[in-house]
Structure 1
Amino acid sequence: MVAPRTALPALALVALLAAGCVNPAEQQGGATTAPTSSSGEAKRIGFFGFAKANSFSAATFAGVEEHARANGATAEFLDPNFDAQAQVQQLQDAVTAKRFDVFVVQANDGAAVVPAIQSAVRAGISVVVQFTPVGTRYDTAEPQVDGTITLIDVPTLNGEGLGRLAIQACQSRKLSPCEVAYLEGLKALPLDNARTQAAVGVLESAPGVRVKARVEGGYTQESGRKAMQDILQKDPGIDVVIGSSQAVLGAEAVAKGKDILYVANGASRQTVEAVQQGRWFGAYYLPVKTLGAKAAELGLAKALGKNVPATNVMTDVPPATSMGTKDALAQVSGEYDE
């Protein structure tokens, strides 16, 4: 949480959970015989992440790279810097050049990448759709392109979870009306729009809860600071703020001294610490680095001709704590730093 889990990142972004810096190689039973192609060369993984500058994507790639290295494969981060069309071009070029045996894809625009992903599958590349769906639906974990493997956090479920956490925050102080500000991810990203609509739908259905602001908060502290400045100028009485963990860090700095309850979509150590310390009300948390390793594991296994499940949901990968307040996250720590 982009995520993208930005985008994602990041969010979404999304939720996130892990027990400290887990070594993916240990989780999977340690290094195995080096995966090799029919020509005897090591398998190559191309990681098409949201952006290198995004901490969520960087942590995911750390898991991909660690698992690849432990299993005799290589991994490379191809950086589109949140540019959906740049990512499409990178995918197309990689298919044409036959650079990789495995694609792990965090799609900035799930619909835009479909033709390139279809080409990759036809070329015999093992494609793992990671964190965000590839296709036009953001309410399902099922593969929307035949031949792909999914390992995702369903954006609509992520949004609903954030909305429920915000309602709990309002109820914790018996606030009615309770004024909520939603820091959207990136309005240009369809998955963020789906997440936002799901979150706002839950909030607006709750008695006494009012969505007072919807501002693009993005996936950096800088964008979060700017969004919070805009919000406080118009609605200084905001009670609850929802956003990516990066944006919330920025918002908190701007609103210093104000009694605001924060709900973060993220999995960093700073996010977990803020919840555990009581500075933030709660977080939607996933073990980001561990999930990167899991994506690499699935992709390499399929590239070696093994049977792997086509549909995989991030909240099913242990350790599993997809959402929580101070008590729920008491025994976990993040897998990366903002």
Structure 2
Amino acid sequence: MDNSSAHRAGELSKTGKRVLWASLTAAILVTAACSTGAPSDSGSGVGISAPSALPPFVSSADERQPTNLPRSIGFPQSTTNEYDNDIATGLRAGAADTGMELQAAVSDGDPQRHTQITDQFRTSGVGSIVTSVLDPAAQEPGLLAAIEQGMAVQTVVMGPSTSTANAPQYEIGKALALAARDFIETSLNGEATVAILNIDSVESVRPRYQAIRDVLGDIPGANIVGDVEPATQDSQAGYETTSTLLQKDPQIDVVLGEDYFGVGALAAMQASGRDLSKVFIGGTNASNEPRDNIAKGTAYRAVVSTSPAIMAYSMARHAADWVDGKAIPQGMCIVPLVLDSPAAVSAFENDMNDLKGTYENPERLSKYLTFLGSISYQTRDQWFTDTWTPTTCGDQ
């Protein structure tokens, strides 16, 4: 690596590095409400297996029997990366808009510390808990205890839960691949040399990459010359992997992967001296740097957002509803949203800067989330014993 490349790689390590949220993607939220005044006979029962389909959510206009749960949210934050910080932003806004108190503590990626913080919030009498998963097996006993105590346990991707937020992972990859296909057909005359920077080791998001392969496989002129998993999940690894692939095949036209891989891939393409007008870089999760690049009109042309801020805001609102005895969704389907132009990025950021307005406007909210099923404190014996996994956010 020459001096300019090393400097660029160093800058990437400082500014572009992100930890995979195990997104959807691979990040997991848990919202729970507990109270020293909750009845010992909670009626949580043995739960039910998550069904393959859920009906549309219908909110309850009237408050039901009060739960006497504290109006507070405890947030054991697993990291201070951008995704978890977006979750904190959403929770903070949702708590403020519903008269809930938000308490937060960072576990710094330590599963034992993370579990301890979760249990401390649960046993000290906070009204709800939101957390990112680090070790599902270690966390499961705490989640089951929270459910038994009458808490609204909301998770992303995993069970057990009273409510699960999940994204149709295959649809995320398909949306990204279709955006790349449009570029290949309109700008590259149907011919493209493609590199896929996958994270197949993360089972929960593996369908994303199968979808990418399926879509590209239907393009006669698309030639996949690299389908590899970088050593680490950050922009530096994206830079190094793309640089290595370019040494073998300097004419790579398309690079697809997680959004932080795309940041590194863009820098590698720039360092190679390629004509970037004929390059398509795309990713998933839509963090700040990829969005900035799309807004500027660079070769980073598309990201598929999973919208953590509005998801967390909704969870805070649902936590408040649970405390008030109202119904909340059993399933929150995260809509894969393609951001592929400055206008799309601007609209997304405007909505994220107005979480309350987005949540309370059904048309705006439907771009990001679909609410399905129904559960409340009174019907909490219908909690899911396993993971609810949507195949689409459309008709269930």
TM-score by length of 2: 0.62
Q: Which one is further off, 155-164 or 167-176?
A: 167-176
| Structure ID, larger Rg | 2
Q: Report the CA distance shift for 1:308/1:165 in structure 2 as closer, same or farther (over 3 A).
A: same
Partner of 1:101: 127
> Which residue of the other structure, out of 324, 329, 335, is the alignment partner of 1:304?
324
Q: Does 1:155 align with 2:181?
A: no
- 2-structure distance, mates of 1:102, 1:183: 38
Partner of 2:359: none
**Unmatched runs of 5 consecutive residues or more in structure 2:** 1-17, 28-65, 354-396
**Superposition deviation, residue 73 in structure 1:** 1.3
> Which residue of the other structure, out of 302, 326, 329, is the alignment partner of 2:341?
326
**Superposition deviation, residue 106 in structure 1:** 4.0
Q: Which one is further off, 72-81 or 304-313?
A: 72-81
> Which residue of the other structure, out of 76, 91, 94, is the alignment partner of 1:67?
94
Matches within 5 A, 1:96-245: 97-98=123-124, 100-107=126-133, 113-130=139-156, 133-135=157-159, 145=160, 147-185=161-199, 187-217=200-230, 219-245=233-259
Q: Report the CA distance shift for 1:295/1:166 in structure 2 as closer, same or farther (over 3 A).
A: same
Task: Render the CA deviation track for 1:87-106: whole Å, top value 9, x for unaligned.
Answer: 88457745774564323344
* Residue aligned with 1:323, SS: strand
Partner of 2:285: 266
TM-score by length of 1: 0.71
Please tell me the residue identity of whatever aligns with 2:162: T
**Superposition deviation, residue 69 in structure 1:** 3.7
Q: Is the 8 A contact 2:162 2:330 kept in 1?
A: yes
**Superposition deviation, residue 263 in structure 1:** 0.9
Percent of pairs identical after alignment?
20
- 2-structure distance, mates of 1:159, 1:113: 29
Query: Number of residue pairs matched?
Result: 288
**Superposition deviation, residue 323 in structure 1:** 1.2
RMSD of aligned Cα (Å): 3.4
Q: Report the CA distance shift for 1:109/1:230 in structure 2 as closer, same or farther (over 3 A).
A: farther
Q: Report the CA distance shift for 1:227/1:90 in structure 2 as closer, same or farther (over 3 A).
A: farther
Q: Is the 8 A contact 1:46 1:100 kept in 2?
A: no
> Which residue of the other structure, out of 54, 79, 85, is the alignment partner of 2:107?
79
Partner of 2:41: none
Q: Is the 8 A contact 1:9 1:56 kept in 2?
A: no
- 2-structure distance, mates of 1:287, 1:253: 25
- 2-structure distance, mates of 1:80, 1:63: 20
**Unmatched runs of 5 consecutive residues or more in structure 1:** 15-35, 136-144, 316-320
Q: Which one is further off, 66-75 or 93-102?
A: 93-102
Q: Is the 8 A contact 2:95 2:101 kept in 1?
A: yes
Task: Render the CA deviation track for 1:6-53: whole Å, top value 9, x for unaligned.
Answer: 422556579xxxxxxxxxxxxxxxxxxxxx9837x542333455x32x
**Superposition deviation, residue 198 in structure 1:** 2.8
**Superposition deviation, residue 301 in structure 1:** 1.8
- 2-structure distance, mates of 1:168, 1:114: 43
Task: Render the CA deviation track for 1:231-275: whole Å, top value 9, x for unaligned.
Answer: 223332211111222221122112203232111213334333322
Q: Is the 8 A contact 2:191 2:222 kept in 1?
A: yes
Partner of 1:285: 305
Partner of 2:84: 57
